Amino acid sequence: MNRLRSVGETHFFRHPAQFDHMAKVLGGDRSPVRIWSAGCANGAEIYSAVLLLAQRRPLERGRFTFTGSDFNADAIEGARQGRFSSWHMRGCSERLREQYFRQVDEGVWQLDRDVVEQVHFFCHDLLEGSEIEPQDVIFCRNVLIYMDPASMARVVDRLFHWLAPEGILYLGYSEAVLAGEHPGLQLIDSSLAAYRRKSFELTTLPVPVLLPPVPLEPLRLNPLRPRLAGRPEALAFLEEAAHFVNNDQPRQASRSLKKSLYLDPSLAVSHYQLGLLELGEQRVEQARRHWRNVITLARRQAPTDTVPGWDGCTWDQLLQWTSKQLKRLGETDV
C-alpha cells in the first residue's frame, strides 16, 4: 500500500468543540470509559482530553483509561515525556498552564507527572497494527489525510471495529466525508466531524463494506518546491493556503486558493482543494465545478507526470480520485 509522507503537527485543544462535545457525552457516571488518541503525535490531543475531564471533576481511579498511539516511535517517546513548546500549547488557557504545567526552559513546558502517568502510550500502526480493545471514544484526527484511498478505507473500517457499541469517533474536520458512507457509522453532527458506532450486529451490515475513495489533502502533504511547475506567485498563495488548512482556518484557505487560481487558473491542486473545502461547507455545485476543472486539466497532461504543487501525485492518480469524487456527487459521465 502506498504510504504518503505524514507530519506530526498538533496542539492542545485542537478543534475545541469536539472536546466540549466529548465532555458533555461523558458527563454521566459511566464507568469505565476508554479514550484513545490514534495517531497521537506528541500526545497533545490525549492530554487535552485528560485535562478537560480532570478539570470538570477529579479523575476517579479506574474510571477512565487514556491511550495514545502512533506509528512513529520518536513521537511516542516525546509523548511519554510530556514536554511541550509554547507553539503546541497555544490552545491552552492561562489557567490550565498555571494549574498543570511548569516552565522548564524558554518556551518549553513540562506537564505534571500526575497527568502524564494517566496515559498509556504505545507504538501502533493503524493499517497493520494489532487489535485494540473496544474504545468508547476514539480521536483519529488529521491522520487519514496522509493515506492513499484504499488505506483510508481500511483504517476507517478498523476504527469502526475498535469502537464499543455507541462509541464515538472524532475525525479531523477535513476528513469528515471519509466515514460518512461506512454503514456502521452514523454522523452525529457534521460540524463536529463526529460519528457514533451504530448498535447493530455486524452480520446485519451490507457486505462488502466498500468505502469511497476519499480526498487526500494535497496542501498538507506537499511543501512547495521551486522546481515545481506553475507560476511562482500562484504557488506562494498555495503555500499560504496550506498554512491556513494546517491551522484549521478553511475560509482563509479558500481565499488563498482563489487568489492562486486568479494568478494561474491551471493550478489543478487548488481546484481540487477548493472542491473539498466547498463540499465541507455543503456547497455541492461549487465543489462539482472545481472538480470538473481538475478533470479537464488532468486530461491534457501526460498521465505519469507529477501534478504541480502535489509532490508524488501523478495526473493519472488525480484524475481517478477526482472522477470518483464526482461520481459520489452523482455525476455519471466522468
Ligand X SMILES: C[S@@+](CC[C@H](N)C(=O)[O-])C[C@H]1O[C@@H](n2cnc3c(N)ncnc32)[C@H](O)[C@@H]1O
Report yes or no: 138 and 163 within 8 Å, Cβ to Cβ.
yes
Alpha helices in 264-314 (DSSP H): 268-280, 284-299
User: Binding ligand X by CB under 6 A: which of 21, 83, 141, 197?
Assistant: 141
Q: What angle do CA 43, 46, 51 make, to 5 degrees?
A: 115
Binding positions for ligand X, 166-195, rule CB under 6 A: 172
The Cα 138–Cα 85 span in angstroms is 25
User: Binding ligand X by CB under 6 A: which of 52, 126, 132, 169?
Assistant: 126
The answer to whether 14 contacts ligand X (rule: CB under 6 A) is yes
User: Binding ligand X by CB under 6 A: which of 26, 45, 259, 267?
Assistant: 45
Q: In angstroms, what is the minimal distance from the CB of 291 to ligand X?
A: 25
The answer to whether 71 contacts ligand X (rule: CB under 6 A) is yes
Applying CB under 6 A, what is the total number of residues that bind ligand X?
Answer: 22
Q: Give residue 166's region: left, alpha or beta (phi > 0; psi -120 to 50).
A: left
The Cα 249–Cα 15 span in angstroms is 11
Region near ligand X per CB under 6 A, out of 39-47, 76-84, 192-200, 281-289: 39-47
User: Binding ligand X by CB under 6 A: which of 52, 75, 169, 298?
Assistant: 75
The answer to whether 146 contacts ligand X (rule: CB under 6 A) is yes
DSSP code string of 25-56: HT-S---SEEEEEES-TTTHHHHHHHHHHHHH
The answer to whether 7 contacts ligand X (rule: CB under 6 A) is yes
Report yes or no: 133 and 122 within 8 Å, Cβ to Cβ.
no
The answer to whether 125 contacts ligand X (rule: CB under 6 A) is yes
The answer to whether 8 contacts ligand X (rule: CB under 6 A) is yes
Q: In angstroms, what is the minimal distance from the CB of 246 to ligand X?
A: 8
Q: What angle do CA 68, 176, 79 make, to 5 degrees?
A: 15
Interface residues toward ligand X, by CB under 6 A? 6-10, 14, 39-41, 45, 70-72, 75, 125-127, 141-143, 146, 172
